């Protein structure tokens, strides 16, 4: 790109171009749009049509609903919507999983037998002497039926520590099937139904547990079994991964099933030859949002960017096709694409966009369909005009699934969480923070997520990431091992250097926050850090959250005993009562709590403070100096 005042930040460079061309993007719309002062406080009720009622100006709505009820109801509906997104994603995965196991879907296979057997054990499915496909069919059918379970609890919650399961039972928080809980949540929030703030929030908690320890976890685990469990892979990120001389196909959304096939299709020799015949040097595939995270972790496919980069990718003029599946798709993609040759292809019957080309996902012929999409891109290449691809891309190492963390830290002879627990106990690692979630257009280039993460690692807090927050940190070169030497405190740097990992571990997409739950449960099981998740020096954080899915995730962490610190504003700030319930109220019930704090430095302080409180409770507040034992000392110890 030409010289611009924003050189160095590719998104800001592209925004200069958008302004110049008069093209509207989320960043420019957020500048000109005044956020609704009522909605921002959780004070707008539109659950019936006597209103909408303004609970910022009034103490009660027309129906008599109070400020507190409306705030709790709005929050609970966000949980329900977020959970629905994850669970419906999971459902698609389970259906394909069953089809693959039955041999009906030729393009999908049961790959990870080890994980299949582990899950079969959770579900009480016999594995001995059975074919993996037979096991997978039984597992898939059980899981699918469980979504609608009317009475019993989802079996995945058995993966939580025993004490946590007991707490959920004692507090009447053990969920039934996730579909059941979501429907009830929506029912309870209709006009004139559940009007007690805590009752609403508690049902939101059941719904969130059913998602975190059910829906999302099922999506993650079954995707791993079918598509492969991620392991470390080197990759590149930024708008600069788009290739000027190649055909660029961008996959975007959350469901990796078709994107996996497109990754395979671009290798096809015949298609490569067709691309060359059109004057391109090859076919380049890259990703946006969580579909990007999925193919990045499993194949090292480069990441163009996160949520706030989707329009900017089109703005480069270098994208022949953007194939989108579900969730976090900006409707404006098609309007931006009108200014260029880019074809936006929708592929899910659940996520159509006016003005896009619809090529509906056909699971039975997924690879053939992926090839059709690649052909559309090839045929579109000659229509390309001037391109503006920012120069350069950053390196990153990704693929830190729970299994990878266990393997990397424990070593091939004794994969375990023991070394992680030991390094927390001896104080080299102060604690762990999951820094996850979205990017906000009005915070583009302000470094909120990366500043927070830099402060955490400087204080020896190991950071695990998912979702779009990963891109914000990749952009600041935090997802490479060298970042440990540059930014991490001495203890964390020593561990990272010894193991060869970055201080910030990319664990996947948003549904993969379940990997963090599993890792936390493994830390408890390993011993030495208490006997419940609420004992761990672990905090969740979504510094730039915007999606209902983020609230759903936050609530399942809180339900699991892990506090969460969210940036931006609190969506319940209009109600002191609900703010208090989400804070102190939940701390008393589950040990987790919600904190809303927009300032990255203050967010880091809250996280570090909480970790220190937990360390003190565990009796490990003092960092243990390393002692080199001589023979006499060893004799005294009886070695
Ligand atoms: O599910 S982090 S902007 S892309 S909601 Fe969306 Fe937020 Fe990105 Fe992935 Ni998650």
Ligand 1 centroid to Cα of residue 195, in Å, is: 31
256 and 212 co-located in one domain:
no
* CATH code of residue 155: 1.20.1270.30
Torsion of CA 613, 606, 463, 544, to 10 degrees: 150
Asked, for residue 390, whether it belongs to a domain, the answer is: no
Mean pLDDT score, 531-551: 98
Residue 194 lies in a domain: yes
User: What pLDDT, in 10s, does the model give residues 89-123?
Assistant: 999 999 999 999 999 999 999 999 999 999 999 99
Residue ranges lining ligand 1, Cβ < 6 Å: 254, 289-290, 306-307, 328, 437-438, 467-468, 509-510, 547, 549-550
For residue range 276-327, list pLDDT tens digits in order. 999 999 999 999 999 999 999 999 999 999 999 999 999 999 999 999 999 9
Within this chain, do residues 609 and 467 fall inside the same structural domain, yes or no? yes
Which residue, 383, 398, 420, sits at the end of a domain? 383
pLDDT of the residue at 363: 97
Residue 480 sits in the same domain as residue 605: yes
Q: Based on the fold, state whether residues 56 and 204 are members of the same structural domain.
A: yes
Best mutation site among 468, 470, 545 for ligand 1 pocket (most ligand atoms within 8 Å of CB) = 468
The lowest-confidence range among 40-49, 186-195, 266-275, 621-630 is 621-630
Residues 49 and 180 in one domain: yes
What is the pLDDT at residue 2?
Answer: 37
User: At which residue do the structure tokens 């709005």 appear?
Assistant: 74
Same domain, 217 and 238: no
Which region among 199-208, 403-412, 495-504, 616-625 has the lowest average model confidence (pLDDT)?
Answer: 403-412
Report long-range pairs for 111-117 (Cβ below 8 Å, ≥24 apart). 111/225, 111/226, 111/227, 111/228, 112/224, 112/225, 112/226, 112/228, 112/229, 115/221, 115/224, 115/225, 115/229, 115/403, 116/225
Atom 9, ligand 1: residue with shortest CA distance: 290
- Res 627 pLDDT > 90: no
Written as six digits, the tokens of 252 are: 């975007």
Reported as a single tens digit per residue, the pLDDT across 569-601 is 999 999 999 999 999 999 999 999 999 999 999
Judgement on whether residues 441 and 571 belong to the same structural domain of the protein:
yes
> Which CATH number characterizes residue 372's domain?
3.40.50.2030
Q: Which residue has a Cα nearest atom 1 of ligand 1?
A: 510
Asked, for residue 403, whether it belongs to a domain, the answer is no
Same domain? 441 vs 553: yes
Closest among 309, 299, 296, 260 to 96, alpha carbons compared: 260
CA of 438 to the centre of ligand 1 (A): 5
Same domain, 178 and 69: yes
* Same structural domain, 209 and 241: no
Q: Is residue 399 part of a domain?
A: no
**φ, ψ for residue 232 (rounded to 5)?**
-55, 135
Probe target for ligand 1 pocket from 547, 548, 554, with the most ligand atoms within 8 Å of CB: 547
**For 199-215, what is the mean pLDDT?**
98
For the entire predicted model, the pTM comes to 0.95
352 alpha carbon to ligand 1 midpoint, in Å?
A: 18
Is there a domain that residue 625 lies in? no
Establish if 2 belongs to a structural domain.
Answer: no
Give the residue numbers spanning the domain of 122.
44-227
Q: How far is the CA of 510 from the centre of ligand 1 (A)?
A: 6
Domains: count for the chain: 4
Distance 253 CA to ligand 1 centre (A): 9
Q: Do 213 and 102 reside in the same domain of the chain? A: yes
In tens, the pLDDT along 329-373 reads: 999 999 999 999 999 999 999 999 999 999 999 999 999 999 999
Same domain, 246 and 182: no
């Amino acid at each position: 790109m030409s010289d611009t005042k924003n050189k160095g930040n590719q998104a800001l460079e592209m925004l200069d171009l958008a302004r110049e061309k008069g093209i509207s993007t989320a960043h420019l719309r957020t500048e000109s749009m005044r956020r609704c002062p009522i909605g921002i406080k959780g004070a707008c009720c539109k659950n019936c049509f006597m209103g909408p009622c303004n609970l910022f100006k009034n103490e009660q709505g027309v129906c008599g609903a109070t400020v507190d009820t409306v705030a709790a109801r709005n929050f609970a509906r966000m949980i329900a919507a977020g959970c629905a997104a994850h669970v419906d994603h999971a459902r698609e995965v389970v259906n394909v999983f069953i089809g693959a196991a039955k041999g009906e879907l030729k393009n999908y296979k049961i790959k990870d037998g080890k994980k299949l057997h582990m899950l079969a054990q959770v579900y009480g499915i016999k594995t001995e002497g059975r074919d993996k496909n037979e096991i997978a069919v039984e597992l898939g059918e059980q899981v699918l039926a469980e979504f609608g379970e009317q009475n019993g609890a989802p079996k995945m919650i058995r993966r939580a520590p025993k004490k946590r399961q007991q707490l959920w039972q004692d507090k009447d928080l053990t969920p039934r099937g996730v579909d059941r809980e979501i429907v009830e949540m929506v029912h309870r929030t209709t006009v004139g139904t559940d009007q007690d703030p805590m009752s609403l929030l508690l049902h939101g908690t059941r719904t969130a547990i059913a998602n975190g320890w059910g829906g999302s976890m099922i999506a993650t685990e079954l995707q791993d079994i079918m598509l492969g469990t991620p392991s470390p892979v080197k990759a590149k990120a930024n708008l600069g991964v788009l290739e000027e001389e190649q055909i660029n196909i961008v996959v975007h959304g959350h469901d990796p099933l078709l994107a996996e096939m497109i990754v395979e299709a671009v290798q096809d020799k015949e298609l490569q030859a067709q691309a060359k015949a059109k004057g391109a040097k090859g076919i380049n595939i890259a990703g946006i949002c969580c579909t990007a995270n999925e193919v990045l972790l499993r194949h090292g496919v480069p990441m163009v960017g996160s949520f706030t980069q989707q329009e900017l990718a089109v703005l480069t003029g270098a994208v022949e096709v953007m194939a989108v599946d579900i969730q976090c798709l900006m409707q404006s993609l098609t309007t931006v694409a009108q200014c260029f040759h880019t074809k936006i292809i929708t592929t899910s019957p659940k996520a159509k966009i006016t003005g896009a080309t619809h090529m509906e996902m056909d699971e039975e012929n997924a690879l053939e369909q992926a090839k059709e999409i690649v052909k559309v891109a090839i045929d579109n290449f000659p229509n390309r005009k001037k391109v503006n691809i920012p120069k350069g891309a950053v390196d990153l190492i990704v693929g830190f699934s729970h299994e990878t963390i266990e393997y990397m830290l424990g070593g091939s002879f004794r994969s375990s969480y023991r070394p992680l627990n030991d390094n927390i106990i001896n104080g080299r690692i102060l604690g762990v923070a999951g820094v996850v979630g979205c990017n906000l257009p009005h915070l583009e280039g302000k470094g909120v997520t990366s500043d927070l993460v830099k402060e955490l690692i400087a204080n020896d807090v190991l950071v695990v990431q998912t979702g779009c927050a990963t891109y914000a940190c990749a952009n600041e070169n935090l997802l490479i091992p060298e970042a440990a030497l540059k930014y991490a405190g001495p203890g964390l740097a020593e561990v990272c250097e010894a193991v060869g990992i970055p201080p910030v571990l990319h664990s996947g997409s948003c549904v993969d926050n379940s990997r963090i739950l599993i890792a936390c449960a493994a830390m408890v099981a390993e011993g030495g850090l208490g006997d419940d998740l609420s004992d761990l020096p672990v905090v969740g954080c979504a510094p730039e959250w915007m999606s209902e899915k983020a609230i759903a995730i936050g609530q399942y962490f809180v339900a699991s005993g892990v506090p969460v610190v969210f940036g931006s504003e609190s969506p319940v700030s209009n109600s002191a009562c609900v703010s208090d319930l989400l804070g102190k109220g939940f701390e008393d019930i589950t040990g987790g709590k919600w904190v809303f704090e927009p300032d990255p430095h203050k967010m880091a302080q809250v996280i570090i403070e909480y970790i220190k409180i937990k360390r003190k409770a565990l009796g490990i507040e003092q960092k243990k100096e390393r002692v080199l034992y001589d023979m006499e000392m060893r004799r005294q110890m009886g070695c």
